[in-house]
Structure 1
Amino acid sequence: MFSVKCQSKARLDDKVAVITGCNTGIGKITAREFYKLGAKVIMACRDVNKAKQAVDDIVGEVKGEKLGQLVVEELDLSSFASIKRCAKRILEKETQINLLVNNAGVMMCPKSKTKEDFETHFGVNHMGHFLLTLLLLPKILNSAPARIVNVGSLAHIFGNINFDDINYEKRTYFSAFAYCQSKLANVLFSKELANRLKGTGVNVYCLHPGVINTDLGRTVDQVFFPGTWFLFKIFSYPIMKSPEQGAQTTLHCAIDETAGEQTGLYYSDCKVKSPSGRARDPELAKKFWEKSIEMAGLADYDMFKASDTIPEPLRDV
């Protein structure tokens, strides 16, 4: 009852959009809508078979003229090797990238680590997208005007970047706090990236999609007790959105004409909102950027130079 709808009538004919984690939920709806608007949609997903099924679902559901294309690429955001392989494949095949939607994510999962030993929430929700974005950035710059949309969460207001123990190696692990830290990371990354991209024609957005009825919380029962996620859905039902409703702010940031004149802002229900005080701290955003660059091993990489060639970090992949 409180949801809003993206009002833009803009089309994406001849545009290329990359969406992560879009075989289900709001990502799948986003892919469907981009396809309806004429875009070539690269569905970068961990489970290729589920992504192919999502393609079949969308093609079977959507009818009409001026439809786009749907292409599946394998992407495991918990592995830098997988991210680099995916980025290289996309850069080799595509002449432009007009939209990047960093949609994939994990929530409230048991304590675990990615291939590079990052705490899983931090590694997948932030570091994976951070690396992918910067590897694709030269071509995105070369395709300007372009947009980068990061799907965050209102949970960022409870987040804090613990620079001394980002990966929960010293402190007691709480999945909720780990998730909130990763969501604050999304907002800080968006803010600093937008600041560094001013004047380039590439705009950056971060958003809270709402409380969505998806399978994002499928691991919650492993953290607490069987049935926790079911109970959460029951008690959250009055404010819970469908995937269709939850995708609207992503669509707004990706195609709306007014949003196209903005960058570095935070959105909810298709409107600009104010994020937390920490998320608005420019010094924290800069410090976190530098830390992320170090952790991603990109200190010697010039990601802000528009280019149509394969960037140096991918030459030997």
Structure 2
Amino acid sequence: MENMQCPAEDVAILASVARDICPFPDYNPSPLFVDMLSINSSLHLRNHYREVQSSLTPKQLEDFTQGLRTTFGRQGKVTLGGVGVVALSLAVLFDTLARQIRGEWVSDSGPIPGLFLKNMRGYYPPQVHTVSEYLRLVPYIANNPSRMVEESEKYLKKLIIQGRHLEKLGENHTMNEDITAVNEMVGSYFAGCLYLHLRRINNATVEELVISNRSRSPDVNFFHLNCDPEMADRQFLAELQKSENRIREAFNRCKPNHERKAKTWLLYVAQLQWLDVFTLPLYAFGYESPESMIAHREDFDLKADALGKWT
């Protein structure tokens, strides 16, 4: 990043001003990724579960509950369902089941809707398809320990191979774009969480827990700025001059310490927000130590949090 002293709050303020003038994507991935893969995953999942149920009519809620009973049985317990990749899979299942009950068409293949940044060209890196496939499978194997280990190891290996392939492409200066790069990062982040999930299942020791904190920010050749950047740049600077103090102060804090590489201020702000996303894996877990990461093992009780009649 060209200015490491620029707080995320300031970036968000400037991005809000810039988007009103020259729309560009919101690079933040779905909140489900950060929420369900964090130390507070169980709380986030319970809240999400209740929100989805509360959005349904009584008849729809009855069908929703029946769908979960069919998948998980009368006990309604999901092994490690309150933490990590299993929590994320449950959140996806709740959303998918609710859409189907409302009569919406939901594809059972391809990228999970709303979970990744939408690419208008329709291209998604291979990791997106692998993560989506795995998350759709998990509810049906979560309570089968041997199958869960087998499938998780298989998908983790696939994600690692795909990540290495993408790194090699980057070394060869393959053209990349802002949205694709974020989706690649999310795939790599998920691979680390899947590795942690396997360590939890196998009751690994701290010495066996080796997760790479490497956060690679690939060179991006194209940003989706839906305007004439140079013309919009003049409007952006004019808007800053008449804006309130907190916005001007944010701009001053975020000015680069040396000559900026971006051709326009609009592009510079877009790059700042895009780069912020690549810091997510550094703090999203929220764990104080490796010991707490392994010790965080929570099943999820669908029956206890059901708003509808379970039996």
- Normalised by the size of structure 2, how large is the TM-score? 0.28
Which of the two has higher C-alpha Rg? 2
Higher relative contact order (CA 8 A, sep 6+): 2
In terms of fraction of residues, the more helix-rich structure is 2
